[in-house]
Chains A and B, each alone.
Chain A
Amino acid sequence: MTSEIEQLQASTLDALQHLQDAAAVDALEINILGRKGKLAALLSRIPTLPPAERAGIGTLASEVKQTLQLAFNGARGKFSGTNDHSHFDPTWPGVAPSIGHLHPVTAFVERSVQFFTTLGYAVADGPEVETAAYNFDKLNIPANHPARDLWDTYYLNPERDGILMRTHTSPVQLRYMETHKPPAYVVVPGRVFRHEATDASHDTNFSMLEGLAIDRDLHITDLIGTLKAFLQHTFGPVKMRIRPSYFPFVEPGIEVDMSCLICHGKGCSVCKQTGWLEMLGAGMVHPVVLKNMKVDPKKYSGFAFGIGVERMVMLLHGIPEVRLLLSGDQRFLEQFHY
């Protein structure tokens, strides 16, 4: 009986070598190890054996069973890597790799900066705490001028020193021009601050992306063309509308509207029924500002623009509440897959 069991093991292992697929392995397994298989048949004869032989057979049989089981599993494994598609289900969720989330404002700024650097703009950076000289005076916004009311400002203690949280990134443009000569093309992304009550579309800390170009014979058409390219790059084939406006550091000054993303110009609550969305302010750099940059306004002209990043991000993603952006709420931030 011992030899019969050993022979069954040898022949089964041999047979396993020649099988071509997992189904044949399954069939052979049932034939050998199944409840009515060959091993079971052999073992059913144990009661007929003399008691002395029985113990040894039992041990041997369980060893053989274990060996064969491993062999069957191994043989099945050999096929499952290539042929066994019985569990294929493309609707089952993939195993998520551990990837975090870039903030949507960062993603927008990076994309925009990339647009401008591709055109040949440099990127500059500067302090978030500024002097009134850089934030206002040199930008043709003199002290006690009503135009200062356009910027609600946080001041630092002691207040008399005129140190403040920058209300725009324009001071960086002035600083950039202290170390560069025209032609100059530069964009300045960064955090800015406004001292005003917050609501769904205004926060005290937000981001701007400003641009400055100074060169010979720059026209307002160059500014319009640049901004049109930028808006279409960012939002797709939108229409653009130019309105005259006033900012002390530009003359002429313009504001740029974009056809409403929601109603496509028909009028809805997002665009206050006008069909247009106010997007950004811009203009031709004021000669006084050029002089403050040590640029001769007779030789050079320039344009500048200022993009309120959060507003664009909100439009792009349909975010109803600006304060979500700095709330730190992961349920919000994890929605964006940048």
Chain B
Amino acid sequence: MKLPLTWLKDFVTVRTSPEKLAQLLTLSGSEVEQIIPSTALGTSRGPEVSGIIVGLVEEVKQHPNADRLKVCLVRVLASEQPRTIVCGAPNVAAGQKVPVALPGTVLPNGVELRAATIRGVESSGMICAADELALGDDHSGIIVLDPKAEVGTPAAKWLGAADITLDVKVTPNRGDCLSIRGLAREVAILTKQKLKEPAPARHASQGVAGGPKLVEGKSKNTVQVKVQDTKSCSQYVARLVEGITIKSSPVEVQERLASVGIRPINAVVDATNYVMLELGQPLHAFDADKLNQIVVRSAKPNEQLVTLDGEKRNLLTSDLVIADKQRAIAIAGVMGGQDTEVSEHTKRVIIESARFDPIRVRLTAQRLHLRSEASNRFEKGIDPALAIEAADRCAAYIAAWADGVVAKGRVVAGKKPLVSKVITLTLAEVERLIGARVPAAKMKAMLTSLGCKVQATKTALRVVPPSWRLDLIIPADLVEEVGRLMDYNTLKPTLPHIPQRAPEQSSSFAFTSTVRHRLVAAGLTETPTYSFYSKELAESFDLADQPHAELANPLNPDQALLRRSLMPQLLTVAGKQSATRDSLRIFEVGRAFWPANRTMPEERTMLGIVDVRKVGLPASASAQPWQAGDPFLAVKGVVEAMCRSLGLHDVRYHGSTSTAARITVGTEAIGIIGSVRQKYADAVKLRKPAAFAEIDLSLLMEQPRHITKAQPLPVYPSVERDLAFALPHPVAHAELIREVRGVDPLILKVQGIDRFSLANGNRARLDAPPGSRAGVSITLRVTFQSPGTTLTSDDVQGIVERIAQRMDEAFSAEFRR
């Protein structure tokens, strides 16, 4: 809500600075988001306006030789005759106080103003627009000063104060603050001023900004109003103004409307908007000659209406409309119809001042994408005492600005406004919620200042909120009023005494936190991605045929689906950066969404890991040369280390395809691990070898976790032997180990430490060309240990011979001595 301070002053005396006022409003709940010098609308402040003085425009005539120019007589000094000044501004008008630069004045742009002859008329000075005074870039018209400005005095004072607008963020519960008077009430309370009844018109002939006196004519208001649905329209007030001439509203009215972002149209429409802004009651004006009566009803099936904006609207029976005998003429609270619009030929207008059901207005406005100043106010609730006042005020303005006569009487249909309910507020409740004792008298004074009627007893207050405070319903609402008026910052902060309890056992937060830290320690960088992805991405990872939860209202195609795997996006991230980096080791812990038969998709907390490295880059400093550049072994190493640190036993890897393996813990399949297939790498422009793992942490968390049992330190030394074998075909590492371990109980540990292809007699990398199935050389490191003695070289040699024999039998392996 834009609050021009000059307008505010119609309703309350303001003696505080704009900055202080902004602070007071902000600290009481109506946050001032910006202090705008309104001519400059958000640009620099601190005007360079020395040498500019206040002038009074006494007369405005058309320039004899130029359509766009006007010749003004401007009085700048009481002792001097009015000066002739040629002015091109559209808004210049007699009676205005304006900033005038006289010949000899140096303008902020450095140019010295001189008297000049403009199209044959001598002009001795300039009436200034905002940009000419460096108050902004507005050149749409001259600045009009406060009428109180004294002629001949420096204009600077009035330029500053006159032009400031506060941009106030009104919270949804405070519909009453969506008006100048509503905010004036707040200002009055905060600055201990009295709310003014709107002052009498400043310019009697025009009735600007004051409370124009409602003068009724002789003819009667004969408008017929029928409210069929009193639940959706609790009150409908109609005023009739006749004999009007459609013209522009007074310049100051137009400026005020423009300053809060509403386009001036004509005196009638402007009056409805003006009163809405002043009081908060949305109004509509119909051309009375284009309708025969007013009915408030639900729209009929298949009913249509062309609205003011020229659009044909298909109505639903849930829409509330204003109609006459034949057809709908307006959508209640949302927008009027084109047929009954006020036009330049309009002579009689009906003013509608009504209260419509907030929800119906909201639903219709939402559906038709027609949310407006009016619908916004209806949604938030209108002061039930306001409809009559607003109708009368609007009628008076129209009569004044469009030379009309208000017909006698107002038509009021609908229920009587509800009376606010009594709220009982105990002192104990205030103390319980605020944490401080507030004296009853102080509270009574506060609530009374808000417009409440308050009866105080020793222990409680009986409070009747004012009609406009629809948000005050329960005691806590009043506690908030007390709190905000006493300023929470004056309260002494405390800390609650939290009772001791045993912490809960299974915390997924703690579990995922452990996982994250393990992975960071292993050298991976946490790289979270968005929870949504596009259909295209799902397709390129062959996920499109799997069920996905879909967003109904994605902002762009990248948000079409809820991810069911973290991999597409992690690999996308890797692909984007793989060209410029030697390696990329990333992980993400996040939700994946699997639609089930239920309405809500199943959610799993997944861990995704991606490892990309250029050929030859070692997995770690301790990696053997043959492990170099194998991202799969790097990922597997990370997963193994993580599982060990989580106390998981029996973690196995089952080759299911030529590039990927299932990971199981016990009997539970917890994820997959593998090399990234060329197809998928190509999809995300991943140009280096890459591997991945995706693990269901929700499942992992449920697996039994073993606590390490300490082993006795060996009494006798162990012996290591590296044994190389030539195998005619590759054999899985796990199989080799199983065979070798079975040879003798003194074998403590067996691990493969090297392997290479014997295909070309070279140490060709085995895992590179999967097709080459020629001979393989494998080196196993075997550790021997006896619990009872120190093993001799002969002991070990004996076992080695038996290993060689077993390898030969099982795999036709040749022991390479």
Report whether A102 and B526 are in contact in the complex, using a CB–CB cutoff of 8 Å.
yes
For A330, give its contact among B521, B527, B562 (CB under 8 Å). B527
Report whether A243 and B562 are in contact in the complex, using a CB–CB cutoff of 8 Å.
no
Report whether B528 and A103 are in contact in the complex, using a CB–CB cutoff of 8 Å.
yes
How many contacting A-B pairs (Cβ < 8 A)?
240
Assembly CA distance A183 to B530 (angstroms): 36
B423 within 8 A of A: no
A328 within 8 A of B: yes
Instruction: Name the distance in Å between A168's Cβ and chain B's nearest Cβ.
Output: 15
With A123-B507, A328-B586: A244-B526 Cβ-Cβ less than 8 Å: no
Report whether B590 and A191 are in contact in the complex, using a CB–CB cutoff of 8 Å.
yes
Report whether A330 and B552 are in contact in the complex, using a CB–CB cutoff of 8 Å.
no
A137 within 8 A of B: no
B495 within 8 A of A: yes
Report whether B549 and A156 are in contact in the complex, using a CB–CB cutoff of 8 Å.
yes
Which residue on chain A has the smallest CB distance to residue B491?
Answer: A221
Which residue on chain B has the smallest CB distance to residue A98?
Answer: B523
Contacts of A226 in B (CB 8 A): 495-496
Interface membership of chain A positions 152-195, coded 1 if the CB is closer than 8 angstroms to chain B and 0 otherwise? 00111111010101000000000000000001010001010101
Instruction: Name the distance in Å between B539's Cβ and chain A's nearest Cβ.
Output: 18
Assembly CA distance A119 to B500 (angstroms): 10
With A224-B493, A246-B171: A158-B528 Cβ-Cβ less than 8 Å: no
Which residue on chain B has the smallest CB distance to residue A278?
Answer: B31
Assembly CA distance A207 to B302 (angstroms): 45
B581 within 8 A of A: yes
B113 within 8 A of A: no
Report whether A221 and B526 are in contact in the complex, using a CB–CB cutoff of 8 Å.
no
For B432, give its contact among A102, A217, A329 (CB under 8 Å). A217
B215 within 8 A of A: no
Report whether A251 and B504 are in contact in the complex, using a CB–CB cutoff of 8 Å.
no
Interface membership of chain B positions 344-374, coded 1 if the CB is closer than 8 angstroms to chain A and 0 otherwise? 0000000000000011001100000000000
Interface membership of chain A positions 203-226, coded 1 if the CB is closer than 8 angstroms to chain B and 0 otherwise? 011000000010101111110111
Report whether A228 and B480 are in contact in the complex, using a CB–CB cutoff of 8 Å.
no
Contacts of A228 in B (CB 8 A): 493
Contact size range, A: 35 or more
Among B140-148, B444-452, B511-519, which stretch is in contact with chain A? Answer: B511-519
Interface membership of chain A positions 296-338, coded 1 if the CB is closer than 8 angstroms to chain B and 0 otherwise? 0000010000000000000000000000011011100110001
Assembly CA distance A208 to B491 (angstroms): 27
B760 within 8 A of A: no
Interface membership of chain B positions 571-586, coded 1 if the CB is closer than 8 angstroms to chain A and 0 otherwise? 0110011000100111
Report whether B171 and A155 are in contact in the complex, using a CB–CB cutoff of 8 Å.
no
* CB proximity to B under 8 Å, residues A264-279: 272
B531 within 8 A of A: yes
B6 within 8 A of A: no
Contacts of B508 in A (CB 8 A): 125
Contacts of B498 in A (CB 8 A): 119-121, 183, 185, 213, 215
Contacts of B584 in A (CB 8 A): 330
Contacts of A159 in B (CB 8 A): 552-553
Report whether B600 and A131 are in contact in the complex, using a CB–CB cutoff of 8 Å.
yes
Among B70-78, B195-203, B223-231, B433-441, which stretch is in contact with chain A? Answer: B433-441
For B591, give its contact among A191, A284, A325 (CB under 8 Å). A191
Contacts of A219 in B (CB 8 A): 432-436, 494
B28 within 8 A of A: yes
Report whether B552 and A155 are in contact in the complex, using a CB–CB cutoff of 8 Å.
yes
Interface membership of chain B positions 25-63, coded 1 if the CB is closer than 8 angstroms to chain A and 0 otherwise? 011110100100000000000000000000000000000
The listed residue with most B CB atoms (<10 A of its CB), out of A125, A197, A219, is A219
Report whether A102 and B517 are in contact in the complex, using a CB–CB cutoff of 8 Å.
yes
Assembly CA distance A253 to B480 (angstroms): 7
Contacts of A4 in B (CB 8 A): none
Among A57-65, A69-77, A142-150, which stretch is in contact with chain B? Answer: A142-150
For B379, give its contact among A110, A146, A161, A301 (CB under 8 Å). A146
Instruction: Name the distance in Å between B122's Cβ and chain A's nearest Cβ.
Output: 45
Which residue on chain B has the smallest CB distance to residue A198?
Answer: B555
Contacts of B507 in A (CB 8 A): 123, 125
* CB proximity to A under 8 Å, residues B150-166: none
With A241-B489, A328-B586, A333-B527: A218-B551 Cβ-Cβ less than 8 Å: no
With A110-B513, A131-B600, A156-B550: A102-B520 Cβ-Cβ less than 8 Å: yes
A5 within 8 A of B: no
For B528, give its contact among A154, A284, A326 (CB under 8 Å). A326
B784 within 8 A of A: no
A286 within 8 A of B: yes
Contacts of A13 in B (CB 8 A): none
B761 within 8 A of A: no
Instruction: Name the distance in Å between A183's Cβ and chain B's nearest Cβ.
Output: 6
Assembly CA distance A110 to B436 (angstroms): 34
A106 within 8 A of B: yes
Pairs A–B under 8 Å by Cβ, sample size 25: A98-B522, A103-B528, A105-B528, A106-B526, A120-B498, A120-B501, A146-B362, A147-B172, A154-B554, A154-B559, A157-B550, A185-B496, A204-B555, A205-B530, A221-B434, A243-B488, A244-B484, A244-B488, A251-B480, A252-B484, A272-B34, A326-B528, A328-B569, A328-B573, A338-B520
Known: A123-B507, A221-B493, A334-B525. 7 other contacts (CB 8 A): A119-B498, A157-B550, A183-B499, A191-B591, A217-B432, A222-B494, A244-B28
Q: Which residues of A does B touch, CB under 8 Å?
A: 98-103, 105-106, 110, 113, 117, 119-123, 125, 127-131, 144-147, 149-150, 154-159, 161, 163, 165, 183, 185, 189, 191, 193, 195-197, 204-205, 213, 215, 217-222, 224-226, 228-229, 241-246, 248, 251-255, 272, 284, 286-287, 301, 325-326, 328-330, 333-334, 338
Q: Which residues of B does A touch, CB under 8 Å?
A: 26-29, 31, 34, 171-174, 358-359, 362-363, 376, 379-380, 432-436, 474, 476-477, 479-480, 483-484, 488-489, 491-496, 498-501, 503-504, 507-510, 513, 516-517, 519-532, 549-555, 559, 562, 569-570, 572-573, 576-577, 581, 584-586, 590-591, 593, 599-601, 603, 620-621
